[in-house]
Structure 1
Amino acid sequence: MTSTLSVRALEAGELRAAHTLFAAAIHRGPADDAAWARSAQLYGPGRTFGVHSGGALVGTVASFPSELTVPGGAVLPMAAVTRVGVRADHTRRGLLTAMMRTQLEDAAARGEPVATLRASEARIYGRFGYGIATRARNLRVRADPALLRDDAPRGGTVRLLAREEIIPVLRGVHARIAHRRPGGISRTDGWWSATIGRRVDVDREHVIAAVHTGPDGDDGFAIAFLEGSSDFTERGLEVSDLHAADVGATAALWRFLMGIDLVRHVSGELRPLDEPLELLLADPRACAVTGHADETWLRLVDLPAALAARTFGPAEPVLIAVHDGFLAANTGVYRIADGHAERVGAIDGPVRPELECTAAGLAMAYLGDRRPSELVATGWWSAPEPAAVPRADAAFATAEVPWCGTYF
């Protein structure tokens, strides 16, 4: 049946229908006019694809342009993949595979060597070459600023923003600090409008937006909303967004949030694995980790370009064969040496690899989230030459844990 169906870029007049289809796929109703006006800003020209059957739209996938920070500090053009949905009566017919292939080919044609997404289900995207490249944790801490150690960093000053200041100010702060570590991405105006703007301006939720100012100016911010409760003294504060340039700014923002009156606890989702909140507390048990989650799913679209863009640690040369059954042009043997990577041959050519992996397996190591030795031990990679594994660990090592902190 899939041979009779074709994927094509949707026209502007078809985008609201695509959004409605996506909403139904995640069990939500259609957007009203105000919500659609916000959501429409994330649909870029020519970046939404669909499949029709019997004159009706039955599948869709979209992306918007962004940028991804990779180890070494380079910032790569990126396709931020989102709003993927297939109508319930057309699933498991190859529609998603066809749309994914078209979308990745489009990203390559646009000069975007990487794509990322946030997965609603963890078993879907690996077959398209996506791998988990950053992870995060959820936590909950008692709301008491006295819990922070007396000798913990205090940072600079924290100020609250008026509602009309929130997006203009935070957009500027995020742009200055987002690319400080691998995994960080840029945010478009459409992202701000469709996510934060919707809650602040359309839904008119009570919002706490705070900015930290250090010696060099604004260098951190937090956005928090109240959790639902009828008891004023038992309310929780949900931190939906917190970015800080250093530990001092991080400590000051958490101290501020934990000191807000009539709040029993403060929770945060998808926080960095290395955020040192427990180390800032006199009682580290006051901070409970409530869960861990995958964050960035990364697809290396143009593998030679992506590998050439990041830097690698000092290590003796290592040869890695990468198998990509979805984008065959990426398949080949790559040599990492002297802090750089290059393609040196075809699979089954004269250059014999020491390690082998799939595109998804390589994506898991690319930003530094997983060590090659972990991936070899768990079967994601194979090691025809086991002596190459420590060299690969040294090459892929990064100074910081990768993290994005932007949900889309």
Structure 2
Amino acid sequence: MAPQLRTLEAREWDTWYRTLERAFGGPPTPPEARGLWQSLTEHDRSVGAWDGDECVGTSGAFSLRLSVPGAALVDTAGVTRVSVAATHRRRGLMTTMMRRQLDDVRQRGEPLAALVASEPDIYGRFGYGMATQQLSTTIDTARVRLEVPAGTGTDGVRLRYADPVAALTACEAVYAGQVTGRPGMPARPRGWERLAVLAPQGGGDGGSPLQCVVAERDGATVGYARFHNTPQWDVSGARGMIVLRDLEAGDPGGYAALWRFLFEIDLTSTLVAQNRPVDDAWQHLVSDVRRCERQLRDGLFVRLVDVGAALEARAYRTPVEVVFEVEDAFCPWNEGRWQLVGDAHGASCTRTRAPADVTLPVRTLACAYLGGVSLTALARAGLAGELKGGTLARASSAFGNEAAPWLPHSF
């Protein structure tokens, strides 16, 4: 018999979570982190696949609000905890769970679903497209300087060490102030701020416990950085490494002061940042960008569950009027022609019988949705077709956004 899907009950959580841990491998989740994830689990949005008494598959979702272009926060299913036991692969179980989940998301009236993919190849067939990227860097701070321009406002900034837990409220207020300015950032529900202080001690490499430095102006917290300091020595002396976990600041002065601090910590010569926006401003402040080893990788994958509602929920950088012919075999309610009319103040997107200007699969719309991937680039890859000259370029310009979209953490 095929495994049976059912909504997770609280008493089943440990078994369900052990199934997930086994599928992903590695050591068990530390008790504090495990307890926090258990408290954040939305049981009515979590599903287990059961083969008799054995849990052989898991999936879940968080009720999130995701920032989109135009500073709106859109109800989004944060897809998470998806796994299939190695004993039950190639039986369609993943497809069955995705079918059930997207039907549920639609019923809840959430225009979007989003996830961080363990294997990107899996989710494209369900209509998810890569909508954000993340920048990682390893900087040789012994040879690279951070040069802060005059007038940036660092003179009025005071930096001080703070207990990471005690400073959570002030730091979370800084984070919340940044959300609507950058698409892809989730407005964190209560309790989620605690995840930031559960980072492994020293990043799992013999470093310090998590450290926190806050930037203050006139007594108010305007920024923070959380990091580990890993001491290293060789015959030439100290060669310590700073591993940055997260940094947010509400103004250029606080931002520059925090980055300068990280560059100048005594006994260190390497700064590692593993998830930053692709347009992060430090890249324009360094003396030698070539000695800042930079690497891009995929970030957030987005799925338009309701094409009309999703396209209406965001604003557009330039005025746009276009008819999309959308292909969506997995969520057929999205198929057909949609007329989008929008600008910087809002949009409408309705069914139409008018001739299509652009044809594309829903995955292409998902890639472009947050403004980080251009429709013209996707068309050059063969992922969109223009039927009326000039409409694709105008739509591509409208979908763009001033700030690159970015997901600061997984979920």
Task: Answer yes or no: same fold by TM over 0.5.
Answer: yes
State the partner residue of 1:197.
198
Assess, with a 3 A threshold, how the Cα gap between structure 1 residues 205 and 89 changes in structure 2: closer, same or farther.
farther
State the partner residue of 1:168.
169
Distance 2:18 2:199 in 1: 17
What is the deviation of 1:126? Answer: 0.7
Paired letter, 1:362: L
1:384 aligns with 2:391: no
Assess, with a 3 A threshold, how the Cα gap between structure 1 residues 80 and 72 changes in structure 2: closer, same or farther.
same
1:363 aligns with 2:366: yes
What is the deviation of 1:213? Answer: 2.8
State the partner residue of 1:266.
271
1:327 to 319, 324, 331: 331
1:108 to 106, 109, 112: 106
1:18 aligns with 2:16: yes
2:322 and 2:340 in contact (8 A); partners too: yes
SS in 2 for 1:370: coil
1:313 aligns with 2:317: yes
SS in 2 for 1:334: strand
What is the deviation of 1:369? Answer: 0.8
1:336 to 340, 343, 367: 340
1:334 and 1:341 in contact (8 A); partners too: no
State the partner residue of 2:354.
351
Paired letter, 1:263: T
Structure 1 residues 253-308: Cα deviation after superposition (integer angstroms, max 9, x where no partner)? 1111112122221110121111122321233334221x111111111122211111
Assess, with a 3 A threshold, how the Cα gap between structure 1 residues 106 and 125 changes in structure 2: closer, same or farther.
same
Distance 1:42 1:255 in 2: 36
Aligned residues: 400
Assess, with a 3 A threshold, how the Cα gap between structure 1 residues 160 and 57 changes in structure 2: closer, same or farther.
same
Deviates more, 1:72-81 or 1:184-193: 184-193
Distance 1:91 1:405 in 2: 31
Paired letter, 1:266: L
1:81 aligns with 2:79: yes
Distance 2:37 2:208 in 1: 18
2:255 to 247, 250, 258: 250
Distance 1:227 1:35 in 2: 22
Distance 1:21 1:205 in 2: 32
Distance 2:37 2:17 in 1: 8
SS in 2 for 1:20: helix
Distance 1:132 1:54 in 2: 36
State the partner residue of 2:404.
401
Distance 1:54 1:301 in 2: 32
1:277 and 1:287 in contact (8 A); partners too: no
State the partner residue of 1:59.
57
State the partner residue of 2:35.
37
Distance 2:298 2:372 in 1: 11
SS in 2 for 1:168: helix
1:354 and 1:388 in contact (8 A); partners too: yes
SS in 1 for 2:173: helix
What is the deviation of 1:145? Answer: 10
Paired letter, 1:93: R
Paired letter, 2:188: R
Give the aligned CA root-mean-square deviation in angstroms. Answer: 2.5
State the partner residue of 2:118.
120
Assess, with a 3 A threshold, how the Cα gap between structure 1 residues 72 and 316 changes in structure 2: closer, same or farther.
closer
Distance 1:166 1:62 in 2: 31
State the partner residue of 1:293.
297
1:20 and 1:31 in contact (8 A); partners too: no
Distance 2:88 2:232 in 1: 40
Deviates more, 1:241-250 or 1:326-335: 241-250
